[in-house]
Structure 1
Amino acid sequence: MLGDPARRNQKLRCTYHQDRGHMTQNCRALKQHLEDLVATGHLREYIDHDKEVAELGNPLPEANIEHPPWLIINVIHGTAAQESEESLKEEIAKAAQIQRIMSVEPASKKVHTVPKSPLCTISFTSKDLEDIQHPHTDALIIIVGIGKRFDVKRVLVDHGSAADILYYDLFRKLGLSEQHLTPAAAPLVGFNSQPEWPLGRIVLPVVAGTKTHQIEFLVINTPFPYNAILGRSWIHRMEAVPSTYH
């Protein structure tokens, strides 16, 4: 049973769950289990076939089954057990204490400033689809200048990446060595939650079009089909909107 055991009705017992909280005849989990057994061909001796099968020529009227409501799944985290009200209060109090100790201003009191830049509308039209074969699931791959004199091909633009990544083979071809690196502060955690420690950090100029930005890369020594990854920090610096469709 889900929920806090202390808040259940201890006078009611469910034989199916071997626990207290509700009566067996009201157990929704048991009813669903029985329905699943019937659907797979079991318990046929307990089924009222007169109700299940209509007489020939006199079909039973179809039940008026309403469509179930559209449900929402929020962020999935933590354990499957529901948190008690007391534990939630403790977490809120702990967060408030950390906020006081660290002298963190609430978001409502912060003054957010928007960088002043010329306003423009970024849009994609059918003209941007010229010379592109559809359907496709290709990644967005570009050529950029990295360092002082290199045009680097096969650079992945990934707005799902919080870090800008330089792979070790490219790092060496740029004429760089480990003495140019500064230590990395934390490991990278990928999709499979496995941490990967970078060899270090390095700041290099990245040239795209008419813009040049100094970008801090994490250098990784693992095989990869791309030479580098430009993530959200570079995309934001460029004030760009990438489109994999176009």
Structure 2
Amino acid sequence: MGPPDTRRRNKRCEYHKDHGHDTANCYALKNHLEELVQDGRLAQHVQKNNPSNTVALRPDSPPLGVIHMIYNLPSSAKVHTIQLQPSLHKPITPAKRRHETRRISFNVTDLVGVTLPHTNPLVIELCVNRFTIELVLIDQGITSKIMYYKTFVKLGFTNLDLSPTDYPLFSFNASPKYPLGNITLPVRVGTRSVDVEFMVVKLPSPYDLIMGKIWLHTMQAVLSTYHQLLLFPTDYGIEQIRGSQKLAQACYLVVAAKRPKELEVNSIEVPNRESFKNIGKIPSEKAT
């Protein structure tokens, strides 16, 4: 507020019951109202549209909770909870000195903690709208950013928060699939935060999000599935985020358990291969 003799008498804050600044410009009041909104105490006063549930991210903002969902595994590994414990997460403090180097490379020291050999994809953790989301697949084969509906709901959104999308997605079950809509949310990795437009789809998946090439290019990120590492430049040097082999393997088990039987290939032993030479060549024998 400042010393009493230096405050501007023509401006009064009703929140502090004192002079010096307007009520509309009171940062303490704004922070208090944001806390009430996040606690659900002002739900009846919050307009339900896309920007209403979007929270601006700062590097020192603690997460509101953790979203971790894996389904159809043994009971010891089945987790689908939100833990509202921001006090357990330490805020990120960027380095004070800026680094000029922008070279990104991988070496043998990056393999510390990685189980070899492996064929695991890169599954990382991201902070989306101040929630820590643990099952994020990095897929260089797609351009879109996919959010599954279960994650969308866990973040506290409804269909009213979606904006329409005009084109379908392909490669889902080999048929076109129209997303429910789009939503733009802030995504933070380390000290960097960018706004990302997600396509929300209502399909089963062990993952919570899929991040494609557009996000990687925006972040200027370079990844190595072999090293289970994603590196990206910042004003404070090269930062990194490491993948989780354990979560990647758990997601694979879910996919394998749900694989349709019609996609399975069964092999048979044929004692007399000579008898099969002409099958398919003569129309009458095709059925055989």
For 2:145, the equivalent position in structure 1 comes to: 164
Which amino acid letter does the alignment assign opposite residue 123 of structure 1? Answer: S
Return the offset for 1:193.
Answer: 4.0
Give the whole-Å Cα distance in 2 for the aligned partners of 1:237 and 1:193. 29
Give the whole-Å Cα distance in 1 for the aligned partners of 2:125 and 2:174. 30
* Aligned counterparts, 1:4-43, within 5 A: none
For 1:176, the equivalent position in structure 2 comes to: 157
Give the whole-Å Cα distance in 2 for the aligned partners of 1:200 and 1:192. 19
* Aligned counterparts, 1:110-121, within 5 A: 120-121=102-103
Give the whole-Å Cα distance in 1 for the aligned partners of 2:186 and 2:172. 28
Give the whole-Å Cα distance in 1 for the aligned partners of 2:225 and 2:207. 16
* Aligned counterparts, 1:179-218, within 5 A: 179-190=160-171, 193-218=174-199
> Residue 126 in 1 paired to residue 94 in 2?
no
Percent of aligned pairs sharing the same letter: 44
SS in 2 for 1:205: strand
Which amino acid letter does the alignment assign opposite residue 126 of structure 2? Answer: V
Name which of 231, 234, 238 aligns with 2:212: 231
* Aligned counterparts, 1:73-152, within 5 A: 120-147=102-129, 149-152=130-133
1:35-60 alpha-carbon deviations (Å, 9 max, x no partner): xxxxxxxxxxxxxxxxxxxxxxxxxx
Return the offset for 1:192.
Answer: 5.8
Give the whole-Å Cα distance in 1 for the aligned partners of 2:178 and 2:172. 15
Give the whole-Å Cα distance in 2 for the aligned partners of 1:216 and 1:200. 10
1:91-125 alpha-carbon deviations (Å, 9 max, x no partner): xxxxxxxxxxxxxxxxxxxxxxxxxxx66211100
Give the whole-Å Cα distance in 2 for the aligned partners of 1:192 and 1:227. 18
TM-score, length basis structure 2: 0.43
TM-score, length basis structure 1: 0.50
Mind listing any 5+ residue stretches in structure 2 that lack a counterpart?
1-99, 228-288
Give the whole-Å Cα distance in 1 for the aligned partners of 2:176 and 2:186. 27
CA-based RMSD of the aligned residues comes to: 1.3
SS in 2 for 1:171: helix
Q: Number of aligned pairs?
A: 128
Q: Highest Rg: 1 or 2? A: 1
Where relative contact order (Cα < 8 A, 6+ residues apart) is larger, the structure is: 2
For 2:272, the equivalent position in structure 1 comes to: none
Mind listing any 5+ residue stretches in structure 1 that lack a counterpart?
1-117
Once the two structures are overlaid, the 10-residue window that deviates more, 161-170 or 187-196, is 187-196
Seen in structure 2, the aligned counterparts of structure 1 residues 172 and 191 have a Cα distance that, compared at 3 Å, is closer
1:129-168 alpha-carbon deviations (Å, 9 max, x no partner): 0111111011101111001x20100101111111000000
Seen in structure 2, the aligned counterparts of structure 1 residues 188 and 131 have a Cα distance that, compared at 3 Å, is same
In terms of fraction of residues, the more strand-rich structure is 2
Give the whole-Å Cα distance in 2 for the aligned partners of 1:239 and 1:145. 18
Return the offset for 1:191.
Answer: 6.6
SS in 1 for 2:132: strand
Seen in structure 2, the aligned counterparts of structure 1 residues 140 and 162 have a Cα distance that, compared at 3 Å, is same
SS in 2 for 1:190: strand
Give the whole-Å Cα distance in 1 for the aligned partners of 2:194 and 2:137. 17
